[in-house]
Structure 1
């Protein structure tokens, strides 16, 4: 089963991404929470800049760092919340395993992202099957 992310931009035909259904928010919605909170560019930021949905990331350091940050929050959603400093330590360790740049993140950023995730979880879990959630980025 899948969820779908429809990307709509001015002057560009809408595009759709098939997202595997999971028991938490879709992965790309976690990207939204992260990328609308911090200034580091990741997948959604690149889409906003005009990249097509099917693009392959260039493997830039910032892109990899944002992906590790999204994965860290995704893991926390599966396993339960930890102190912000512990989440940051896990993120920094994850960046170190593949040589990624560690994009700076502060405990206040962690809390802001968590707040955005909580808002998205509430909105997402309230949706009837077959309905959609619209966010602007």
Structure 2
């Protein structure tokens, strides 16, 4: 599956999803001052073997759905949110990030996906790389990623 993120003016960026069968879907991505939310999903899901939003889309789910159907996608969503919070607020220790993630899962009443400190560092490396690439794009520039 190909993910093409386009940096737009205004309140939204754009994600175009091209599936292996050639079908195309577009998603409006609200600007949030960091990379788009679904790009954070890519960083998390490309490092971990856990199924989340992009994995479900790759399996055929329409991109307009919201997660919440399964424990795995809820666990990934909480992890994505935890990394987003870190991107907005600044780096913390891997132990603190994992503690925050576990608390978020527990407060929502679902399982915690296995995530190691090495996983945290690999995801951070991917997020740093994507942040640099996204930041270097001009308005209407695109960043294409294979998932």
Counterpart CA distance in 1 for 2:67 and 2:81 is: 16
TM-score, length-normalised on structure 2? 0.90
Say which SS state the counterpart of residue 23 (structure 2) adopts.
strand
**Relative CO higher for 1 or 2, CA cutoff 8 Å, sep ≥ 6?**
2
TM-score, length-normalised on structure 1? 0.97
Structure 1 equivalent of residue 47 of structure 2: 37
Deviation at 1:54, TM superposition (A): 1.7
Superposition CA RMSD, Å: 0.9
Given the alignment, which residue of 78, 82, 96 partners 1:68? 78
Structure 2 equivalent of residue 52 of structure 1: 62
Kept in 1: contact 2:79–2:101 (CA 8 A): yes
Q: Deviations over 1:87-127 (max 9, x none)?
A: 00000000000101100100000000000000000100000
Deviation at 1:56, TM superposition (A): 3.9
Gaps of 5+ in 2: 1-10
Change (3 A) 1:92 1:58: closer
Kept in 1: contact 2:76–2:113 (CA 8 A): yes
Deviation at 1:59, TM superposition (A): 2.2
Structure 1 equivalent of residue 28 of structure 2: 18
List structure 1 runs of 4+ shifted beyond 6 angstroms. Answer: none
How many residues align? The count is 137
Gaps of 5+ in 1: none
